[in-house]
Amino acid sequence: MNAAEASVEIAGTHSRQAVLVEPGRLELRDYVVPHPGPGELLIQIRCALTCGTDLKMFRRGHPLWKLPIAFGHEFSGVVMEAGEGVTAFKAGDEIMAAPTAPCGICFYCQHGQENLCDDAVGRMVLGAYADMLVLPAHVVARNTFIKPADLPFEEAALLEPLSCVVHAQEMARPEKTETVAIIGGGAFSLLHMLVLKAAGVREVVVVGRGAKRLKWAEEMGADRVIDARSVDATAEIARLNGGFGPDLVIECTGQVEGWQDAVARVRRGGRVVFFGGCPVGTVLSVDTRLMHYDNLTLMAAFHFRPRDVRRAYELLEGRALNAGSVINARMRLGDLVEVFAMLERGVVLKCAVIP
């Protein structure tokens, strides 16, 4: 039976999908698989990845979405059925996609800031922790790609987080001669590190907590790791770059303390990228004299644009990053509760959830 024939049998049958009922409570529910509408794709999920945003949402919900809600947004899979009007994809195609796409016509899109388009996050595809998923037409049209045959489904599912990293580094514009410090030892931090190393940046330092995470960073290619809890951490960071401190600091903890630490660690004339999003209602206090007289550049990177997704796809397609190394656990969809327990314990960077 080919994929086209199988799609007839799959649509209308029951499938599983994880639902976040309330903070800390997940349920695996049955639902009826629909046929895709015009411009849409019905895909069979081959891999869904855990994400720091998922973990934050699991812990406290999300201000943009009301619970209960279908869960998961990093994925890759196989097309089971193409909706009316779809010509770029057909049943049987192996695909990878980012879960959002901008409208292309609003103020922000017209100014090249598609990451700020209300349609981008407002119509985000959720529900990737599932057997099947329908991709909406706007995502199919702009941010869906044929997966290279030699690219594993797990690595293909990194398209969305890698797009966020690409966008942030496009803003920061790291130079090959620079020293970059990344604050945080999670999966996003290490994706940043892999992209910087692939670009030939001279020195990439990961400042994190916990021997296990620092060991992972070292094994994946960090030039140096610094334990943020060490009494010597401040002095070690200050000694970087010939004693001037890092040229660029990328903050990935999503905590106000991390944001403040990033500003304190960067050299005079340096740049800071606030990558990790902090909880709602938190406030950053900045010494205005320090910012002015040290000529600091502070910038915040949010989401991504279609050109960032295209660049992330090219990096994955070229196999230049060894990006799959950030995935260090594999579990079944039925074990999703245990997956999030592992994430809470910090014993895994990124877990591949295989239906």
Look at residue 13 in the predicted model and tell me its pLDDT: 81
- Same domain? For 259 and 276 the reply is yes
231 and 109 in a common domain = no
C-alpha atoms less than 13 angstroms from C-alpha of 261 in its C-beta half-sphere = 21
- pLDDT for 11 equals 65
Specify whether 173 is located in the same domain as 92: no
DSSP helix/strand/coil, 351: strand
Q: Is residue 91 a part of any domain in this protein?
A: yes
Check which CATH number belongs to the domain holding 21 and give it: 3.90.180.10
More confident of the two residues 220 and 13: 220
Please indicate, yes or no, if residue 189 is contained in any of the structural domains. Answer: yes
Nearest one of 194, 180, 151 to 323, comparing CA atoms: 194
10 has pLDDT over 90: no
Residue 1, pLDDT > 50, answer no
- Write the single-letter amino acid at 176: K
List, for residues 245-259, the tens digit of each pLDDT value.
Answer: 999 999 999 999 999
Tell whether 67 and 116 lie within a shared domain: yes
Residue that has been written with the tokens 């196999």 in this structure: 319
- Per-residue pLDDT band at 63 (split at 50, 70, 90): confident
Residue 30 lies in a domain: yes
- Residue 179: both structure tokens together: 């020293």
Return all residues near 148 (Cβ < 8 A) that are at least 6 apart: 156, 316, 317
**Domain count of the chain?**
2
Question: Helix (H, G, I), strand (E, B), or coil: what is residue 268?
Answer: coil
Q: Which of 84, 20, 326, 299 has the alpha carbon at shortest distance from 171?
A: 299
Q: How far apart are the C-alpha atoms of 139 and 309, rounded to whole Å?
A: 12
193 and 48 in one domain? no
Task: Look at residue 9 in the predicted model and tell me its pLDDT.
Answer: 61
Q: Are 108 and 55 in contact (CB under 8 A)?
A: no
For 277, phi and psi rounded to 5 degrees?
-80, 130
Residue 315: inside a domain: no
Q: Do residues 100 and 239 share a domain? A: no
190 and 56 inside one domain: no
Q: Encode 84-102: b = buried (16+ Cβ within 10 Å), e = exposed.
A: eebeebebebbbbbbbbbb
* Segments forming the whole domain that contains residue 253: 163-300
Are both 112 and 61 inside the same structural domain? Answer: yes
**pTM attached to this predicted model:** 0.94
Q: In the numeric block, which tokens belong to residue 44?
A: 């069979």
If asked whether residues 27 and 152 sit together in one domain, one would say yes
Is residue 22 a part of any domain in this protein?
A: yes
Q: Are residues 187 and 120 in the same domain?
A: no
Q: What's the CA gap between 50 and 73, in Å, rounded?
A: 8
First-to-final CA distance of the chain: 20
Position 289 in a domain:
yes
What is the per-residue pLDDT across 94-149, written as a single tens digit (0 to 9) for each? 999 999 999 999 999 999 999 999 889 889 999 999 999 999 999 999 999 999 99
- Whether residue 306 is contained in a domain is answered as no
Are 182 and 284 in the same domain?
yes
Q: What are phi and psi of 217, to 5 degrees?
A: -60, -40
Predicted confidence (pLDDT) per residue in 144-176, tens digit: 999 999 999 999 999 999 999 999 999 999 999
The answer to whether position 152 is within a domain reads: yes
